[in-house]
Structure 1
Amino acid sequence: MAMSRSLALAFFFICSVASISSTLAATDSFLQCLSASIPSQLLYTQSSPSFTSVLDAGIRNPKFLTNTTKPVWIITPTNASHVQAAVVCGRQNNVRLRIRSGGHDYEGLSYRSERPESFAVLDLVKIRSVRVDTASNTAWVDSGATLGEMYYAIGKAGSRVAFPGGLCPTVGVGGHFSGGGFGMMLRKYGLAADNVVDAVLVDAKGRLLDRNAMGSDVFWAIRGGAGESFGVVLSWKVNLVAVPPTVTVFNVPVTVRQGAVDVLTRWQDVAPVLPDDLFIRVVVQGQTANFQSLYLGTCDALLPLMQSRFPELGVNRTHCKEMTWIQSVPYIYLGASSTVEDILNRTISMDTSNKAKSDYVRKSITKDVWTTIFGSWLARPNAGLMILDPYGGKISSVAENATPFPHRGGVLYNIQYMNFWAATGAGDAQKAWIRDFYAFMAPYVSSSPREAYANYRDNELGVNVVGAGGVSSYDTGKVWGEKYFKGNYQRLAMAKGQIDPDDYFRNEQSIPPLVSGK
């Protein structure tokens, strides 16, 4: 028995050394391959002096700075040929790529792994141009650009054009478009992905493909179906949308003592059926519901509309702030003292870590439930917040299978739950709050499946299981995939089977391939 144990340990040691040697050889070969096509100043190893600063510059959640599997390499390409070389070299040397545009992935899967593995981060921070064509009211936007950089370039092109993306200016375009992307104009113009008309993709073979070359199924898939599953989307062509020269915003906080429960209960039925030019979201925190609005028009036009359709909120002229659309971008997200130039700032505060989850509401939540939410859940010392975004209008008029994003007709609003804790803390109480609150909400939100938004990625919904052949399981992926994509999950897997059947572009929640005939 002792001899057998010694032999087993020796065998394990030999195998471990062989595995380490094989990994080192692969990474050496990977570097040699990359160096033939990519300048050395764009490549970072873990021993590079700038490795940590380059990696951390794109991390948006401090909890991922430690206790996570980090990449072996970081590649910061400046053009398409560098990306193609990275893919080809990665395939040849069994080094997988994770693609980072802005780093806002809620689970950090664009730059970290939850499993021990050797991988490289392809950071698109240097592929970030925005090219606006005012003649055709279109723009080509690189995946490494932030929403703020895109909005700024569009704002410079004129005061009558805009783009219907999200609020946070530091979010990367690539990830935002890949999951759908919505913001304050979703009821007027739908998702960001609804307005994508072409794209440039590097596939798992290193080919550079436009919309026609990638095929209709893959082009459908990258617009809301987790685009990093299908390759590296370098650039997106989008249609710009029309806005008036003057828009109006307002912020109206209502406390529980002022009747927040009644106003919020009423909001559920009103907000999704208002005219499409009017969007009113709610941030619910503590004992206050803060109603935030963007209206595509003047205060004079807004006030009678609010008086007739939503008088319970009590909006008056003192609440109105008139400005251009591009001025509204920093005002809504950064505050009244911000300037348009502030949306170009790519840095964010790293004082707090966070966790998020999401839901969709298809039937109004009753007043007594809101009373419990305020009186119990939001009154707790470690409570987080809820963000409620109303649907209806354009986003709901599109068929569920028109894009991978299926949360359309019948949805009243989306809920995002968030909680925060000190960057250096464990956040156990805050994580428990959000999980328990999410469980409490189950009877009041969508079911079969309980829908979730792909851009609010949540690994607690499930993660991929990789089979013996090195390919993620389609059936295991259903557990989380149908929550994000409902009936579109199967079509996404089939598109993945067309473009990447070997599952090279893979992470914990990437789309598994479903290959016809297998």
Structure 2
Amino acid sequence: MATKPRLAYLPAIFVLLLVVFTSVTAQSPGPESSSLHDTFLQCLTKYTKNSSSQLSNIVFANTNPKFPTVLQNYIRNARFNTSSTPKPSLIVTPQKESHVQATVICAKSVNIQLKIRSGGHDYEGISYISDEPFIILDMFNFRRITVDIKNEVAVVQAGATLGEVYYRIWKKSKVHGFPAGVCPTVGVGGHFSGGGYGNMLRKYGLSVDNVIDAQIVDVKGNLLNRKTMGEDLFWAIRGGGGASFGVILSYTIKLVPVPETVTVFRVEKTLETNVTATDLVVQWQKVAPNTDDRLFMRLLLQPVSSKVVKGTITVRASVVALFLGGANEVVSILAKQFSLLGLKKENCTEVSWINSVLWWNDNNSLKNGVKPEALLDRNLNSAGFLKRKSDYVQNAISRDGLEWLFKRMIELGKTGLVFNPYGGKMSEIPSDATPFPHRKGNLYKIQYSVNWDDRSPGAALNFTNQAKRLFSYMTPFVSKNPRSAFLNYRDLDIGVNSFGENSFQEGVVYGTKYFNDNFQRLVKIKTIVDPENFFRNEQSIPVLRGKA
């Protein structure tokens, strides 16, 4: 379907004119000031019982000298950090619950869109850009983590990063962890509410499978927990995307046991090695989704320069793994099940679980003496250029199919594939237990991945088109009716919502891909809790027809 063009790609002069227009039309003058900043500050003062001087340090107008830094600190995709990228009229950085409640009420009162950002890793930047006048509610101050080892739970605020979560658990216990993503700067709010995928999912499922409570501010500014929000809304915000339903303040999570010693390894093959990348992938598809559920073997496929024939490109297959146990045991398991990998004990590194987190973030971290405290580094204002897409595979790709695919990857030149195996716990949890539906019947999930450094105008178009072409090539090999996608790997190519008369129909296009049969239940819940569709973004859950 045709999609509405994003402002980020329109000529800079048009965007400049629109920003000027926005600064006038988006404001709702108060009795004492015509500025949106002053009007908003007055409203916050009213609803928080704080003075304007107390609140002025959490509200940043786009004329504030600190505004660019606050905005850019949590932009993680440089495609959306340009002079022509739409900017918010205000950024609100709440420090306590009442600030969030008042922000929701005040944004509604001035009729402006509210975008909610936790860590900024949304691949399409929709937590901090918009095609209409908007403000950002940036949750980075909401980073408190309370770990209760006795009861094996933790309360984690939405603005905390995964690295901070892992570190705080480790400080309290060396035999507890939590199943979530491998990038430590990802924000909890978006990650958990979209599902939360990590390298312990075959043993413990997704992050949302281990969430037992939550706090959310609803469209009326009410502060709710699991009991007061009800089981339907609690179900929706565990995989359905929290930003469609309210502002997530915190999640209460169940900690999981991890051994004192775990094992990590990385083994690589190319099309030119004795056991080729093709051989490896054929066997990996049989083993990775069916092996011991303590073992997670991610497979990376990347076009790289050949070391055998200079000036040519080959495909490298890398198996990157975590085993919740010792090296001898995993070597023994894979000698029987995955002989083509040729895993030896010398390929393995036995580490603590927290050091495995460091290793997965950077395979050279332990050699370089990196300590767990590095997980507290938020790596601010460090955006790179990237594009991601996703797919699910339910039937193994044949050898002929793989050989054809590798030729296409070499032709394209840069876009890689990441195969993430399922099975284990993921096959045991019903598809409707949470909004995340991709459970039994899926062998693995694919991430399409391309990064670049070129800042020239045509680079983004070139590389994003590469990803789209590879996605098209994969059509015969992936899920169908619908061709499923993963919400945490946000991709606007699969459909966007313009919030017009056809909002529901537009929502069905991407919604059924992300949520399959769970989409209709999400729509019903959304229509009840936010009938006017205040909490909306380019791929939010729509309300039922006639209700928006």
TM-score, structure 1 as length reference: 0.93
For 1:182, the equivalent position in structure 2 comes to 197
Equivalent residue for 1:305? 333
Match of 2:311 in 1: none
Shift of 1:379: 1.8
State the shift of 1:465 in Å.
Answer: 2.7
Residue aligning to 2:42: 32
1:196-215 Cα deviation digits (max 9, x unpaired): 00000000000000001111
Partner of 1:10: none
Question: Are 2:415 and 1:421 equivalent residues in the alignment?
Answer: no
Question: Among 381, 391, 405, which residue is 2:422 paired with?
Answer: 391
Bigger shift: residues 236-245 or 252-261: 252-261
Q: CA deviation at 1:23?
A: 2.8
Q: 1:348 to 1:282 in 2, by over 3 A?
A: farther
Instruction: Supply the distance in 2 between the matched residues of 1:308 and 1:242 (Cα, whole angstroms).
Output: 27
Task: Specify the alignment match of 2:64 in structure 1.
Answer: 48
Residues 27-426 of structure 1 aligned to structure 2 (within 5 Å): 27=36, 28-36=38-46, 37=48, 39-66=55-82, 67-113=84-130, 115=131, 117-258=132-273, 259-286=276-303, 287-336=315-364, 337=368, 338-347=370-379, 350=382, 352-374=384-406, 376-380=407-411, 382-422=413-453, 424-425=455-456, 426=459
State the alpha-carbon separation in 2 of the partners of residues 215 and 201 from structure 1.
11
The SS at the match of 1:41 is coil
- Contact 1:162 1:243 (8 Å CA) reproduced: yes
Distance 1:17 1:482, change over 3 A: closer
Does structure 2 retain, via aligned residues, the 8 Å contact 1:138–1:240? yes
Q: Which amino acid is the alignment partner of residue 46 of structure 1?
A: N
Q: How many Å apart are 1:81 and its aligned residue?
A: 0.5
Root-mean-square deviation over aligned CA pairs = 1.9
| Distance in 2, Cα, partners of 1:305 & 1:516 | 57
| Closer, same or farther: CA 419–233 of 1 in aligned 2, 3 Å | same
Q: Return 194-203 or 284-293, whichever deviates more.
A: 284-293
* Per-residue deviation, 1:396: 1.9
Identity %: 45
Q: Are residues 1:502 and 2:532 paired?
A: yes
CA distance in 2, matches of 1:135, 1:111: 38
Residue 57 of structure 2 aligns to a residue whose secondary structure is helix
Matches of 2:251 and 2:443, distance apart in 1: 29
The correspondence for 2:483, drawn from 430, 450, 462, is 450
2:28 aligned counterpart, secondary structure: helix
User: How many corresponding residue pairs?
Assistant: 497
Local SS of the residue matching 1:54: helix
1:279 and 1:348, CA in 2 relative to 1: closer, same or farther beyond 3 A? farther
Change (3 A) 1:90 1:348: closer
Distance 1:90 1:141, change over 3 A: same
Q: Residues 23-65 of structure 1, C-alpha deviation per residue, up to 9 Å, x if partnerless?
A: 3335242232124436110110000000011000010011101
- Call closer, same or farther: CA 1:83–1:348 in 2, change over 3 Å: closer
- Structure 1 segments (4+ residues) deviating >6 Å: 16-20, 515-518
Q: 2: CA distance between counterparts of 1:380 and 1:22? A: 48
Distance verdict in 2 for CA 1:101–1:18, change over 3 Å: closer
Aligned residue for 1:427, secondary structure, equals: helix
Contact 1:246 1:324 in 2 (8 A): yes
Distance 1:263 1:18, change over 3 A: closer
Cα deviation digits, residues 83-130 of structure 1 (max 9, x gap): 0010111111112211100000011011101x2x22110000000011
Q: Which runs of 5+ in 2 are unaligned?
A: 1-18, 30-35, 304-314
SS in structure 1 at match of 2:284: helix
SS of residue in 1 equivalent to 2:63:
coil
Q: CA deviation at 1:357?
A: 0.6
What is residue 434 of structure 1 aligned with on the other side? 467
Q: 1:279 to 1:22 in 2, by over 3 A?
A: closer
1:284–1:18 CA distance, 2 compared to 1 (3 A): closer
Residues 263, 324 of structure 2: 8 Å contact kept: yes
2:542 corresponds in structure 1 to 512
1:95 counterpart letter in structure 2? I
Q: Judging changes above 3 Å, is the alpha-carbon distance between structure 1 residues 324 and 215 closer, same or farther for their aligned structure 2 residues?
A: same
Matches of 1:21 and 1:456, distance apart in 2: 35
Distance 1:263 1:506, change over 3 A: same
The question of whether the paired residues in 2 share the 8 Å contact of 1:494 and 1:516 is answered with: no
SS of equivalent to 1:302: helix
Q: Residue 487 of structure 1 corresponds to which residue in structure 2?
A: 517
SS of 1:132's equivalent? strand
Question: Equivalent residue of 2:26, what SS?
Answer: helix
Matched letter for residue 332 of structure 2: P
SS of residue paired to 2:221: coil
Q: Could you tell which deviates more after superposition, 422-431 or 248-257?
A: 422-431
* Shift in Å, 1:517: 8.8
Aligned residues of 2:216 and 2:225 also touching (Cα < 8 A): yes
Kept in 1, the 8 Å contact 2:26–2:112? The answer is no
Please say if residues 501 and 515 of structure 1, whose CA atoms lie closer than 8 Å, have aligned partners that are also in contact. Answer: no
Structure 1 residues 112-167: Cα deviation after superposition (integer angstroms, max 9, x where no partner): 01x2x221100000000110001100000000000000000011111110000010
State the TM-score, normalized to the length of structure 2: 0.88
